[in-house]
């Protein structure tokens, strides 16, 4: 999910409700450090300890060479300054916003993270303090999620553009196309929190919101382990990035089925409903940037899925059902069809 941004000063490593002075992409007098491209790569991305036996040739050659006995799932995400993250976000925040959504795609396929590549375009107003902080945070995230940095590219440009391509091993991938009439529809966690906090990110002077709302935007948690456990249980899956309604629509189209969602079943915090009133349905169903998993599963797996959610201390909520019919999503509130102003984010 993308947004156009102005200024913000939230930092997830501190009190998320308090504005901070952060290093902008355009600090007065700052310039791109006087290093060559290879010096930049070595200082910011060299010497990472994480390795993988499948990586034969990594950083430092014209191509990476990878050999693996398992099929590889691949996904690529691009984040643009002012579009996917605020222009004055901290280096750590930018690393999180660029990296974690790509990892979430691996979760949706039930894949085991293996390696990633990075294409980094930065304006010449970025300094070495920013670059080193970005590299440190990216390294922490890569180690946390088990992804080896296998190569990439760097260049300069008018705005920051960061592309992360992730690869993961997967023997039996979860697809969008497996939903069948009679299946239940499920979602992990809670959707809508990242969208709910956008007004505060755009205007930090607004009344504070719960810190976990801000964390949902700045530090989403890819459901890697859940995705792997869903293999053999779920019939279809998708990660929720553009909005729950929109992404269920993609799943319905791929499967050729009709999905019915009951608003009364949607997981929702009381404070979310209090703040947004009836507009909460738009937030929860069309807000996006959630990076939860939406999936379908035969009804016979209800008890197993309930136990699975408890084992992760993660809510897995049955929110609807799959029926035969024209491909699409029907949302009902109090037994009546609910029409949203929009179903989710459009990238163009």
Q: What pLDDT, on the 0 to 100 scale, is given for residue 22?
A: 34
Q: What pLDDT, on the 0 to 100 scale, is given for residue 23?
A: 34
Consult the annotation and say whether 62 binds a ligand: yes
Query: Is there a domain that residue 348 lies in?
Result: no
Q: What pLDDT, on the 0 to 100 scale, is given for residue 35?
A: 61
Average confidence (pLDDT) per 10 residues, the chain, 348 residues: 35 37 37 61 70 82 86 95 84 96 98 95 86 92 94 89 96 98 98 94 90 95 98 98 96 98 96 92 95 99 98 98 97 91 50
Consult the annotation and say whether 68 binds a ligand: no
Consult the annotation and say whether 250 binds a ligand: no
User: Do both 136 and 180 map to the same domain?
Assistant: no
User: Do both 206 and 332 map to the same domain?
Assistant: yes
Q: Residue 83 corresponds to which tokens in the numbers above?
A: 């579009």
In this structure, what CATH number is given to the domain that contains residue 41?
A: 3.30.1330.10
Consult the annotation and say whether 75 binds a ligand: yes
Q: What pLDDT, on the 0 to 100 scale, is given for residue 57?
A: 86
User: Do both 188 and 331 map to the same domain?
Assistant: yes
Q: What pLDDT, on the 0 to 100 scale, is given for residue 183?
A: 99
Residue spans of alpha helices (H) in the chain:
37-45, 91-109, 128-145, 193-196, 198-202, 211-218, 224-230, 244-255, 270-276, 280-286, 302-312
Consult the annotation and say whether 153 binds a ligand: yes
Q: What pLDDT, on the 0 to 100 scale, is given for residue 11?
A: 37
Domain that holds residue 110: 37-169
Q: What pLDDT, on the 0 to 100 scale, is given for residue 50?
A: 66
Consult the annotation and say whether 46 binds a ligand: no
Consult the annotation and say whether 128 binds a ligand: no
287 three-state secondary structure: coil
d(CA 153, CA 119): 5
Consult the annotation and say whether 127 binds a ligand: no
Q: What pLDDT, on the 0 to 100 scale, is given for residue 118?
A: 94
Q: What pLDDT, on the 0 to 100 scale, is given for residue 49?
A: 60
User: Do both 232 and 250 map to the same domain?
Assistant: yes
User: Do both 214 and 297 map to the same domain?
Assistant: yes
Q: What pLDDT, on the 0 to 100 scale, is given for residue 37?
A: 64
Consult the annotation and say whether 320 binds a ligand: no
Choose one of 169, 191, 213: the last residue of a domain.
169
User: Do both 298 and 157 map to the same domain?
Assistant: no
């Amino acid at each position: 999910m993308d947004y156009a941004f102005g200024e913000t000063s939230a930092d997830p490593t501190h009190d998320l409700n308090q504005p901070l002075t952060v290093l902008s992409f355009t600090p007065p007098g700052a310039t791109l450090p006087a290093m060559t491209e290879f010096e930049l790569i070595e200082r910011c991305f060299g010497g990472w300890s994480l390795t993988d036996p499948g990586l034969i040739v990594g950083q430092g050659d014209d191509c990476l060479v990878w050999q693996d006995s398992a099929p590889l799932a691949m996904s690529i995400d691009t984040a643009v300054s002012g579009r996917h993250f605020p222009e004055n976000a901290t280096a750590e925040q930018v690393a999180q916003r660029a990296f974690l959504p790509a990892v979430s795609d691996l979760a949706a396929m039930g894949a085991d993270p293996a390696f990633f590549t990075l294409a980094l375009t930065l304006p010449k107003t970025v300094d070495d303090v920013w670059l080193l902080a970005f590299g440190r945070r990216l390294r922490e995230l890569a180690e946390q999620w088990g992804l080896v940095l296998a190569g990439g590219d760097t260049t300069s440009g008018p705005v920051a553009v960061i592309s992360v391509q992730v690869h993961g091993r997967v023997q039996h991938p979860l697809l969008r196309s497996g939903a069948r009439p009679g299946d239940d529809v499920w979602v992990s966690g809670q959707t809508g929190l990242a969208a709910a906090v956008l007004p505060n990110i755009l205007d930090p002077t607004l009344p504070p919101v719960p810190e976990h709302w801000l964390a949902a935007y700045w530090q989403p948690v890819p459901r890697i382990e859940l995705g792997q456990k869903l293999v053999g249980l779920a019939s279809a899956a998708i990660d929720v990035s553009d909005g729950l309604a929109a992404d269920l629509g993609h799943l319905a189209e791929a499967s050729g089925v009709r999905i019915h969602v009951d608003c009364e079943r949607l997981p929702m915090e009381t404070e979310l409903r209090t703040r947004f009133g009836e507009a909460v349905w738009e937030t929860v169903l069309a807000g996006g940037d959630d990076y939860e998993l939406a999936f379908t599963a035969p009804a016979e797996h209800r008890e197993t899925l309930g136990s699975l959610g408890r084992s992760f201390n993660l809510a897995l909520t049955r929110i609807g059902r799959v029926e035969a019919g024209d491909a699409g999503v029907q949302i009902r509130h109090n037994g009546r069809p609910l029409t949203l102003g929009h179903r989710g984010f459009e990238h163009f």
